[in-house]
């Protein structure tokens, strides 16, 4: 089976991968995962994420500050990240958003910096990677208010209702499914996934977190995105290869990626 898959959201620079990062990327490639979006969560972390992206051809970076970390954020920090964002390996701003579950930054501060980072992404001409937890209504409210600052992006680790999915799609965003889609308790989410247009859906691991069912309790890694793609294929009644191909193209479109540079080369040769 030849498969080419994109993991639209992983954290290769978490301490969990400090000792074997290169082996993790190699295992992903062996599993057919040839494209990984390595997502930043803070200032120093974003620098590291970019350094890693520069090391591996199939790894790209996003820069941004997760809602957990915005309580200590300053305008000058975004200016510093703007310099890094000029690198061709930087494809988006993120992950940004709201997390009212852990509430590690005060709600008002989270709202303020979500808005500011949306505006910042617009200025950079980048799409955004959005994190929302126990905060869907507030996230939608801010996105609608600031729609003028949106240049597309991804709602990562989507876990909401069909109505919520539609609302994010209507804002021009893509929806990314993580390994949580494979969990026994995720029946309602699978029903939502079935109804979504496949040209707006991505798959991700959010590694090292949220391993798909076969690896629950272990460290997650990009190679395991295959399990989520296989499940999505079963839901849509199509082959895993087709899901891989479609989500690969969606990931490229969502992040405005011209990689690998010539897609024609990957198509089977036909007689002319």
> Rule CB under 5 A: which residues touch Zn ion?
131, 206
Output 7 or 206, the one with its CB closest to Zn ion: 206
CA pair distance 96, 117, nearest whole angstrom: 7
Smallest separation (angstroms) from Zn ion to the CB of 263: 27
Smallest separation (angstroms) from Zn ion to the CB of 202: 13
Output 3 or 157, the one with its CB closest to Zn ion: 157
Smallest separation (angstroms) from Zn ion to the CB of 131: 3
Smallest separation (angstroms) from Zn ion to the CB of 120: 18
Output 139 or 240, the one with its CB closest to Zn ion: 139
| Cβ neighbourhood burial of 272 (10 Å; 0-12, 13-18, 19+) | exposed
Smallest separation (angstroms) from Zn ion to the CB of 211: 14
Residue sitting closest to Zn ion (CB): 131
Output 32 or 42, the one with its CB closest to Zn ion: 42
Burial letters 141-154, b for 16+ CB under 10 A, else e: ebbeeeeebbbbbb
Output 124 or 135, the one with its CB closest to Zn ion: 135
Burial letters 199-237, b for 16+ CB under 10 A, else e: ebbbbbbbbbbbbbbebeeeebbbbbbbbbbbbbbebbe
């Amino acid at each position: 089976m030849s498969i080419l898959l994109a993991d639209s959201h992983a954290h290769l620079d978490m301490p969990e991968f400090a000792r074997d990062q290169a082996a993790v990327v190699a295992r992903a490639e062996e599993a057919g995962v040839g494209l990984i979006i390595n997502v930043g969560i803070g200032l120093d972390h974003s620098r590291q994420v970019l350094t890693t992206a520069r090391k591996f051809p199939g790894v790209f970076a996003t820069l941004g500050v997760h809602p957990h970390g915005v309580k200590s954020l300053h305008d000058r920090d975004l200016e510093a990240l703007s310099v890094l964002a000029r690198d061709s390996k930087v494809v988006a701003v993120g992950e940004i958003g709201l997390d009212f579950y852990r509430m590690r930054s005060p709600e008002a501060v989270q709202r303020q910096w979500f808005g500011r980072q949306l505006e910042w992404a617009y200025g950079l001409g980048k799409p955004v990677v959005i994190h929302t937890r126990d905060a869907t209504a507030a996230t939608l409210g801010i996105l609608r208010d600031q729609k003028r600052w949106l240049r597309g992006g991804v709602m990562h680790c989507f876990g909401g209702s069909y109505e919520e999915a539609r609302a994010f799609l209507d804002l021009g965003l893509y929806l990314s499914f993580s390994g949580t889609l494979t969990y026994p308790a995720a029946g309602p989410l699978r029903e939502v996934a079935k109804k979504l247009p496949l040209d707006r859906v991505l798959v991700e691991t959010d590694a090292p977190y949220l391993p798909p069912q076969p690896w629950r309790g272990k460290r997650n890694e990009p190679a395991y995105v295959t399990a989520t793609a296989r499940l999505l294929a079963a839901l849509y009644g199509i082959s895993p290869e087709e899901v891989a191909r479609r989500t690969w193209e969606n990931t490229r479109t969502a992040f405005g990626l011209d990689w690998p540079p010539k897609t024609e080369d990957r198509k089977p040769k036909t007689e002319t």
